Amino acid sequence: MAALFQALLGGLVLGLIYVAIAVGLTIIFGTLRLVNFAHGAFYAIGAYVGLVVAERVDLVAGLIAAPIAVALFAFALDRLVLRRFYDKDATAQLLLTFGIALVVEESLRLIFGATTLQYPVPDALKGSAFIGPIEYPAYRLLFAAGVIVLLILVWLFIERTNYGLIVRAGIRDRIMVQLLGGNIRRASSVVFALGGAIAGLVGAAASPIYSVDPSTGFAFLVPSFVVVVVGGLGSFWGAVLGGLLIGELQSITGLVFPPASNVVIYLCMALILLFRPQGLLGESEVIRQS
C-alpha cells in the first residue's frame, strides 16, 4: 500500500515536469500552429544556464536567469527564423525546428562537453519531508509545488490577459482572429518566448533532480509530445491531464512491471490515436484546421 502511494507521489512529480513542458508546447501549437521540436532544446538551454549561474551565484539566481535567457533566445529565434516559415507547410516547420534542436544540442556539446553535469540540491532542502508514513525528498516536493504555482500563473495569463484572449481565440479560429484585427503575429512571438521561458525555468529547477547533458532536451521532448497528443493538441487542461496521466502511468508501471515503464507511454499514445485521435480534451476542429 505504502509502495503504491509512493509510486503515485513519484508519478505526480514526474507528471508535473511533463505538464510544464507540454503546456509550453501546446500553447505554441495553439497560437502559431507550429509543432516545435526545438522545445526540448529550450529545456536543455535553461538547465545549462541555470547550472552555470547557480554555480557562480546561487540556485535562485539560476532560476531567474534561465527563463530570461531562454525567452530571449526563443524571441530572437521566432523573429529571425521561424517567422519566415509561418506560411510553409507542417513538414517544413518540423524539419526546421528539428534542425534547430540538433544545432542547439551540438552547440551545448561544443561549449560544455559531453560530460554529465548536476547541480547539487541546496543544503537547506536536502532533507526529506514526511507525508504520513511516506518519506519523500523535500526538494522534489518543493519542485512539484513550484510547478503547480507556475501552471496557475500560465492559466491566469491565458484566461485573464489580452494576449491570452488572442491565444485562446487563435486556438479556436486563427483566420477569424486576424479578420477581426487581432495581432496574432505579435502574440505569436510573445507566446513562443513564454513557452520557451517555462521550459527553461523547469530545466533549471529540475537540474538538482536530473543530471544534464547535451542530449537532455530530447529525453524530455519525446514524452512531452506524447503528453500533448494524449491530452489534446492546443488544450491547456489537456496538457495537464495528459502529463499527470503519463507520469502516473510510468511510475506505477515502474512498480509493477519495470521493463515496460518506458514503453507504456507510447502504448497509451497509440491507444489514444486509435480511439480518440483529437486527444482526451482536444477539440476536433484543431485537427481539421491544421
Partner 1 sequence: MKHSLSRGRFVAATAGAAAVTVGGGPYVIAAPTKEITLGLNVPQSGDYSDQGQDQLRAYNLAIDEINAKGGIMGMHVKTSVGDDQTKAPVARDNAQRMIERDGAVMITGGSSTGTALAVSALCQQKGVIFMATLTHGDETTNQQCHKHTFRRYNDAYMSAQSLARTLVTKYGTGKWFHITADYAWGHSVYDNITAVVEPKGAKTIKNALTPFPGTKDFAPFLQQAQAAKPDVLVITEFGADMVNCVNQAAQFGLTKSCKILVPLVDEYMAKGAKDNFDNVVSTAPWYWEYHASKYPGAKRFVDAFAAKYPGLRPSNGAECAYADIYVYKMAVEKAGTIDAAKVISALEGAKFQFTKEQEWYRPQDHQGVNSCLVLEGVPESQRGPGGFAFARVLEVHPGESVVQPLAGLSCKMEPA
Measured from the CB atom, the residue of 107 and 128 that comes closer to partner 1 is 128
The length of the chain is 290
Q: Which of 162, 258, 274, 288 binds partner 1 (CB under 8 A)?
A: 258
Measured from the CB atom, the residue of 64 and 222 that comes closer to partner 1 is 222
Measured from the CB atom, the residue of 137 and 182 that comes closer to partner 1 is 137
Is 117 among the residues that bind partner 1 (CB under 8 A)? Answer: yes
Burial 15-51 (b: 16+ CB within 10 A, else e): bbbbbbbbbbbbbbbbbbbbbbbbbbbbbbbbbbbbb
Q: How far is CA 164 from CA 86, 108, 199, 251, in A?
A: 20, 33, 18, 33
Closest to 288 in 3D by CA, of 242, 238, 233, 237? 233
Is 207 among the residues that bind partner 1 (CB under 8 A)? Answer: no
* Binding mask of the shown chain, residues 132 to 171, with x at each position contacting partner 1 by CB under 8 A: ---xxx-xx-------------------------------
Are 239 and 15 spatial neighbours (Cβ–Cβ below 8 Å)? no
**Residue 113 Cβ vs partner 1, minimum distance, rounded to whole Å:** 7
Q: Which of 115, 161, 183, 284 binds partner 1 (CB under 8 A)?
A: 115
Q: Which of 107, 161, 183, 262 binds partner 1 (CB under 8 A)?
A: 262
CA 282 to mean position of chain CA atoms: 17
Measured from the CB atom, the residue of 252 and 287 that comes closer to partner 1 is 252
Q: Is 131 helix (H, G, I), strand (E, B) or coil?
A: strand
| Cβ count within 10 A of residue 113 | 11
Is 114 among the residues that bind partner 1 (CB under 8 A)? Answer: yes
Which triple of cell numbers denotes residue 5?
A: 502511494
Measured from the CB atom, the residue of 211 and 289 that comes closer to partner 1 is 211
Closest to 220 in 3D by CA, of 189, 249, 254, 246? 246
Measured from the CB atom, the residue of 127 and 277 that comes closer to partner 1 is 127
Is 178 among the residues that bind partner 1 (CB under 8 A)? Answer: no
**Residue 243 Cβ vs partner 1, minimum distance, rounded to whole Å:** 14
How deeply is 114 buried, as exposed, middle or buried, from its count of CB atoms within 10 A (0-12, 13-18, 19+)? exposed
Is 210 among the residues that bind partner 1 (CB under 8 A)? Answer: yes
Is 112 among the residues that bind partner 1 (CB under 8 A)? Answer: no
Q: Which of 62, 214, 238, 243 binds partner 1 (CB under 8 A)?
A: 214
The Cα–Cα gap between 28 and 140 comes to: 27
The residues of the shown chain that bind partner 1, judged by CB under 8 A, are 2-3, 6-7, 9-10, 13-14, 109, 113-118, 120-121, 126, 128, 135-137, 139-140, 209-211, 213-215, 219-220, 250-251, 254-255, 258-259, 261-263
